[in-house]
């Protein structure tokens, strides 16, 4: 009698598309390596890495009223400042105070600006405590939205022109501060529709009334803005074109090593899933049952 207890069907050998599947996986893995290498060589993909190395912004301005007396700036004549009136346009009586502050500002060194500054102030502080900050050196940070050069009126200080800039302060971007600055950094753009981040130290002068267009009402409206006089702007030029700033060799090397490692791991995974398992040594051998090959069958099922 034939015994089929230990017999197994023959193992199929992969053919056709199944045989080509492991090769296809290897080609895909190699393609991923090429794509990652091409991605890594583009500098714009590494801007986030540069941002991590940039210094953090300083502590935000404290909107509360200062607890002590604010530092006085040597040379400022407080008598002139008594003629300054808030919530008004430019007044002839304020002319002496205006150019007196410019004269003092021209004589101050960068160290003096830091030494006598009251520190960073907010838009709310200048608007609500104008009498306290008038004639004081304040520090501002924000974004220049527009700037243009204008001629200065005749004066004894010798100033021929300055730049009128509208600053969106960092603490209140929708409420502009009017800044007059003597010197601009090299390559600083001019005109409208700007977005240049700057910092500055300057004299707070007054709360100024100006006529501004109101797009919603399609008419002009009176608005107020703090006015600050600054000697210069602190500005970081934009980075050179992308083509001139390739990523560092160390960064590229790290990315390539990581890409190759990931690809090798993927290849190993594909190979482990598609390779043929080894035959168990204790597995019974498989033989195809052929009618007439059994001696008992040839003798009619009786042994002689």
**Residue 290 CA to its chain's centroid (Å):** 77
**Rounded to the nearest 5°, which phi and psi values hold at 301?**
85, 10
Quick one: pLDDT at residue 286? 44
The reported pLDDT for the residue numbered 260 is 73
For the domain bounded by 72-235, which CATH number is listed?
Answer: 2.40.50
Rounded distance between C-alpha atoms, residue 282 and residue 284, angstroms? 6
Taking only the tens place, the pLDDT of each residue in 220-262 is 789 999 999 999 999 998 777 655 555 555 666 676 677 777 7
Give the single-character DSSP code of 303: -
What integer pLDDT is reported at residue 250 of this predicted model?
60
pLDDT value of position 221: 85
CA distance 153 to 91: 13
The segments of the chain whose pLDDT lies below 50 read 2-4, 51, 53-57, 59, 281-293, 297-298, 303-304
pTM of the entire predicted model: 0.60
CA atoms within 13 A on the CB side of 249: 0
pLDDT in tens, 179-209: 999 999 999 999 999 999 999 999 999 999 9
- Render 208-224 in DSSP notation, one character per residue: EEEEEEETTTTEEEEEE
Q: What is the pLDDT of residue 20?
A: 60
Distance, in Å, from the CA atom of 244 to the CA atom of 248, rounded to the nearest integer, reads: 12
Residue 23: strand, helix, or coil: helix
One-character DSSP codes across 73-141: PTT--HHHHTT--SSB---GGGHHHHHHHHHHHHH--HHHHHHHEEEE--HHHHHH-HHHHBT-EEEEE
């Amino acid at each position: 009698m034939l015994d089929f207890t230990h017999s197994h069907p023959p193992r199929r050998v992969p053919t056709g598309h199944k045989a080509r599947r492991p090769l296809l996986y290897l080609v895909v893995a190699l393609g991923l390596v090429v794509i990652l290498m091409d991605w890594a060589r583009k500098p714009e993909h590494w801007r986030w890495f540069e941002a991590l190395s940039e210094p953090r912004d300083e502590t935000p301005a404290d909107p509360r009223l200062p607890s002590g007396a604010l530092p006085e700036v040597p040379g400022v004549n407080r008598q002139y400042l008594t003629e300054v009136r808030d919530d008004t346009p430019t007044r002839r009586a304020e002319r002496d105070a205006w150019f007196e502050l410019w004269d003092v500002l021209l004589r101050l060194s960068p160290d003096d600006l830091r030494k006598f500054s009251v520190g960073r102030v907010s838009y709310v502080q200048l608007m609500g405590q104008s009498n306290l900050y008038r004639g004081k050196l304040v520090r501002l940070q924000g974004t220049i939205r527009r700037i243009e050069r204008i001629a200065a009126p005749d004066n004894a200080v010798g100033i021929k022109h300055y730049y009128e800039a509208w600053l969106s302060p960092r603490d209140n971007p929708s409420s502009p501060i009017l800044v007059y600055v003597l010197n601009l950094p090299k390559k600083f753009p001019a005109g409208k529709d700007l977005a240049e981040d700057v910092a500055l130290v300057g004299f707070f002068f007054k709360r100024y009334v100006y006529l501004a267009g109101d797009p919603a009402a399609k008419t002009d409206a009176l608005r107020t803005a703090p006015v600050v006089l600054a000697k210069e702007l602190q500005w970081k030029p934009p980075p050179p074109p992308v083509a001139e700033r390739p990523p560092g060799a160390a960064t590229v090397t790290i990315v390539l090593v990581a890409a190759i490692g990931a690809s090798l791991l993927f290849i190993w995974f594909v190979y482990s899933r598609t390779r043929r398992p080894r035959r168990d040594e204790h597995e019974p051998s498989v033989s195809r049952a052929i009618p007439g090959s059994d001696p008992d069958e040839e003798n009619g099922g009786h042994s002689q």
